[in-house]
A and B are shown apart, each in its own frame.
Chain A
Amino acid sequence: MLALKSVSRHYGQASALDGLDLVVPDDSYVSLLGASGSGKTTLLRIIAGFEEPDTGTISLRGARLDGIPPHKRGVGFVFQNFALFPHLSVEDNVAFGLRYREERPVRDKAEVRERVQTILDLVGLEGLGRRSVGAISGGQKQRVALARTLIAEPKIVLLDEPLGALDANLRERMCDELHAIRQRLGISFLHVTGSETEALLMGDQVAVLADGAIAQMAPPDDLFRSPTSATVARHLNAFNIISGTVREGRLRSPVGALALPAGIAAPDGQPMSVALPYDGISVKPRRDEASDGISARFVTAEFKGPSMLSFFRAADGSLIQSLVHLSEPRPPRYEPDQVYALDFDPELLIAFPERAH
């Protein structure tokens, strides 16, 4: 188990991490979702030991990690740009850790060769051992980077946007393989990504990093079903976040007055944000202005193959997105600049009461 307790790291005035707590259980796949600049990479670098935290502690299976130099931590790191040794062959890249590590280097050449072979087979690189790392594809480089890290049998592997440099097709295949490889080895993976689909697909648990701390950590479906804050919901890129104030059991917001789900009893004047799922909206022709709900001008639509994402602009200028799965009846063609009514079932709303300022 990897445990971080109130870890902070500041760069001058700006703080990258601010009292972050995180637990990565043994034998699990945790994905860490964060926007770019949210301190994801800083967090991994602190765990690996390339940087030290200003305050807080890091421990791995009960032993303190902070203060120990990176080459003695037993933490594997897979770099975003792979960071392969350009002058070495695939085999020598993979064997590097075994041969040259300070603690318990493997001096028996036959053993090194055998273990390199085993790990190359595991990541699907049979027969490519003698190639130069300049002569293999991006996906193969990714596998070399993984094999090089896994051969040392680290207790935990940190993956820094490992799929970012791959094209979409390859990314999906690598996702499956990463899962399979991790399960076979029974070690923990901490996978950092900026893509919510990747995070939800990969993780047994998904942790959302926002404002220098973990905003929520939960299994993907729980996270998706019940995000605990508007921030988390925003990271999932599947909800319109609408903020306003409760008045007479309704949410008065700049985009209109919204009915709240039953069971949400909030006093008048209570500030509140709600998350409205992209796919919970039904677009209706314009209705009269006085009634409830959202009226918005159609901007444009994106055809995404199995779904269609439409963008509407509400009266206050905020953007509202509506997603229709094309397994449902195909929506009609909306007219640009035409005002439509966006209807939804109030029970679909997830409400986040906020503290009054």
Chain B
Amino acid sequence: MDLANQSNGAAIDREGALSPARKRARRDEVQALKLAAPGILWMTLFMVLPMIMVVYVSFWTQTTFAIEPTLTVDSWVRFLTSPTYLDSIVTTLFIWIVVLASTLVIGYPVALLIGLMIRNVTLQTALLVVCIIPFWTSFLIRVIAWRPTLGTEGAINSILINLGLIDTPFTSLLFSELAVVIGMTQIYCVFMVGPITFMLARIDHSIIEAARDLGAGFGKIFLRIILPLSLPGVVVGAIFVSVMVLGEFATAAALSGRKVNMLGNIIVSQVGSLKWAFASVAGVILTIIIAIVITTLLRIVNIRKEM
């Protein structure tokens, strides 16, 4: 310790010259800054500044045809006192919770199959690619495709009628909350499957064998070993799904027949009618909700430990 201090001190004292270790450390810092610079620049220009702008605009004065930078809380008061808009917050949260739950319930077993049960890496990769194949068509087509599937004379109703299982077609399949949930679950499920699969694939099989050897049945092994070890994957998947679902508008617009209005739909329609201040209020509220959701999810596990 003393020796190190002495030699260190000596290295700096000598005409202010830096020791090789210090020089290396300084060079690494400069290097790190250079690598981070493009990202920082991009995020500042296209995320931080616009976000500040959105918050600022939400306090501007909106008239029917114009908007002027006179500060007022009018838009906020109007939003927070209108049942229609408050309902949209509830709808957004409701759709989010249901889609999050359904992607988890459908996605986890798929991840379990690909990540844990199948030991052949080639087959694992092939199945993951299969999960991604729907992405080869555009988002909009995947959403719209649910209309001829779920409609009154759509595929599901036709099949059920032809099988003689029902007499009259289900009318609530399309243009309902159910349709929105089905559509979103299909589109976002893969974002849940991926991260969970990767976490499960990292579990050493001998750990599971050890648990069996100690006398635990499948239920206990799942609950005590597999689930806790895959939890970081669940959290990452939940963050992906949450961020995308909370900001959604296209699926709701296409499959609900305008019956389901999420915050995203409000923003689109307000921007469409040039109500910038009002759209900004909805935007700020949505951002706050997303921030709270992500923070809460990150509380569940320490992601940093998994890197």
Query: Could you say which residues of chain B place their CB within 8 Å of the CB of A234?
Result: none
User: Contact at B206–A102, with CB atoms within 8 Å?
Assistant: no
Which residues of chain B from 204 to 258 have any CB-CB distance to chain A below 8 Å in the complex? Answer: 204, 206-207, 209-217, 220-221, 224-225, 228-229
User: Contact at B207–A83, with CB atoms within 8 Å?
Assistant: yes
Query: Could you say which residues of chain A place their CB within 8 Å of the CB of B229?
Result: 86-87
Contact with A along B30-55 (1 / 0, CB 8 A): 00000000000000000000000000
Given contacts A96-B224, A100-B224, A83 and B210 within 8 Å (CB-CB): yes
Question: Which of B212, B216, B228 has the most chain A CB within a 10 Å cutoff?
Answer: B212
User: Contact at A77–B224, with CB atoms within 8 Å?
Assistant: no
User: Contact at A100–B206, with CB atoms within 8 Å?
Assistant: no
Given contacts A85-B225, A87-B229, A102-B220, A79 and B215 within 8 Å (CB-CB): no
Residue of A nearest to B213 (CB): A77
User: Contact at A79–B210, with CB atoms within 8 Å?
Assistant: yes
Residue of A nearest to B207 (CB): A83
Query: Could you say which residues of chain B place their CB within 8 Å of the CB of A71?
Result: 212-217
User: Contact at A96–B207, with CB atoms within 8 Å?
Assistant: no
Query: Could you say which residues of chain B place their CB within 8 Å of the CB of A97?
Result: 214-216
- Interface CB pairs A-B, < 8 A, 21: A48-B213, A50-B212, A50-B213, A70-B213, A71-B215, A71-B216, A83-B207, A83-B209, A85-B210, A85-B225, A86-B229, A87-B228, A96-B216, A97-B215, A100-B220, A101-B215, A101-B220, A102-B216, A102-B217, A148-B210, A152-B214
Question: Is A149's CB within 8 Å of the partner chain B?
Answer: yes
Which residues of chain A from 22 to 51 have any CB-CB distance to chain B below 8 Å in the complex? Answer: 48-50
Given contacts A76-B213, A96-B216, 20 further A-B contacts (CB under 8 A): A48-B209, A48-B213, A50-B213, A71-B216, A77-B209, A77-B210, A77-B213, A81-B204, A83-B204, A84-B207, A84-B210, A85-B207, A87-B228, A100-B211, A100-B214, A100-B220, A100-B224, A101-B216, A148-B214, A152-B215
Query: Could you say which residues of chain B place their CB within 8 Å of the CB of A70?
Result: 209, 212-213
Query: Could you say which residues of chain A place their CB within 8 Å of the CB of B209?
Result: 48, 50, 70, 77, 79, 83
Main secondary structure of the interface of B (DSSP, over half): helix
B227 to chain A minimum Cβ distance, whole angstroms, is: 10
Query: Could you say which residues of chain B place their CB within 8 Å of the CB of A87?
Result: 228-229
Complex: A71 Cα to B216 Cα, angstroms: 6
Question: Which of B204, B210, B216, B220 has the most chain A CB within a 10 Å cutoff?
Answer: B210
* Smallest CB-CB A-B distances: 9 pairs: A101-B215, A97-B214, A83-B206, A83-B210, A100-B220, A102-B217, A77-B213, A100-B216, A70-B212
Q: How many residues of B contact A (CB 8 A)?
A: 18
Chain A residues close to B by CB (< 8 Å):
48-50, 69-72, 75-77, 79, 81, 83-87, 96-97, 100-103, 148-149, 152
Query: Could you say which residues of chain B place their CB within 8 Å of the CB of A69?
Result: 212
User: Contact at B213–A100, with CB atoms within 8 Å?
Assistant: no
Chain B residues close to A by CB (< 8 Å):
204, 206-207, 209-217, 220-221, 224-225, 228-229
User: Contact at A103–B213, with CB atoms within 8 Å?
Assistant: no
User: Contact at B216–A79, with CB atoms within 8 Å?
Assistant: no
Query: Could you say which residues of chain A place their CB within 8 Å of the CB of B228?
Result: 87
Query: Could you say which residues of chain A place their CB within 8 Å of the CB of B206?
Result: 79, 81, 83
Complex: A191 Cα to B183 Cα, angstroms: 57
Question: Which of A72, A83, A84 has the most chain B CB within a 10 Å cutoff?
Answer: A83
Complex: A71 Cα to B208 Cα, angstroms: 11
Complex: A97 Cα to B207 Cα, angstroms: 13
Complex: A87 Cα to B210 Cα, angstroms: 14
Query: Could you say which residues of chain A place their CB within 8 Å of the CB of B211?
Result: 85, 96, 100
Query: Could you say which residues of chain B place their CB within 8 Å of the CB of A86?
Result: 207, 229
Residue in B204, B214, B217 whose CB lies within 8 Å of A96: B214
Query: Could you say which residues of chain A place their CB within 8 Å of the CB of B212?
Result: 49-50, 69-71
B116 to chain A minimum Cβ distance, whole angstroms, is: 15
Complex: A284 Cα to B207 Cα, angstroms: 56
Complex: A50 Cα to B206 Cα, angstroms: 10
Complex: A90 Cα to B220 Cα, angstroms: 19
A34 to chain B minimum Cβ distance, whole angstroms, is: 20
B224 to chain A minimum Cβ distance, whole angstroms, is: 6
Query: Could you say which residues of chain B place their CB within 8 Å of the CB of A76?
Result: 213
Complex: A76 Cα to B215 Cα, angstroms: 9
Residue of B nearest to A102 (CB): B217
A157 to chain B minimum Cβ distance, whole angstroms, is: 10
Query: Could you say which residues of chain A place their CB within 8 Å of the CB of B207?
Result: 83-86
B145 to chain A minimum Cβ distance, whole angstroms, is: 41
User: Contact at B213–A102, with CB atoms within 8 Å?
Assistant: no
Query: Could you say which residues of chain A place their CB within 8 Å of the CB of B224?
Result: 96, 100
Query: Could you say which residues of chain A place their CB within 8 Å of the CB of B210?
Result: 77, 79, 83-85, 148
Query: Could you say which residues of chain B place their CB within 8 Å of the CB of A50?
Result: 209, 212-213
Residue of A nearest to B223 (CB): A100
Query: Could you say which residues of chain A place their CB within 8 Å of the CB of B213?
Result: 48, 50, 70-71, 75-77, 149
User: Contact at A72–B215, with CB atoms within 8 Å?
Assistant: yes
Complex: A270 Cα to B210 Cα, angstroms: 51
B5 to chain A minimum Cβ distance, whole angstroms, is: 30
A193 to chain B minimum Cβ distance, whole angstroms, is: 18
User: Contact at B214–A149, with CB atoms within 8 Å?
Assistant: yes
Complex: A280 Cα to B212 Cα, angstroms: 49
Query: Could you say which residues of chain A place their CB within 8 Å of the CB of B215?
Result: 71-72, 97, 100-103, 152
B229 to chain A minimum Cβ distance, whole angstroms, is: 6
B209 to chain A minimum Cβ distance, whole angstroms, is: 5
Query: Could you say which residues of chain B place their CB within 8 Å of the CB of A96?
Result: 211, 214, 216, 224
Query: Could you say which residues of chain B place their CB within 8 Å of the CB of A83?
Result: 204, 206-207, 209-210
Question: Which of A70, A84, A103, A152 has the most chain B CB within a 10 Å cutoff?
Answer: A70
Query: Could you say which residues of chain A place their CB within 8 Å of the CB of B217?
Result: 71, 102
Query: Could you say which residues of chain B place their CB within 8 Å of the CB of A79?
Result: 206, 209-210
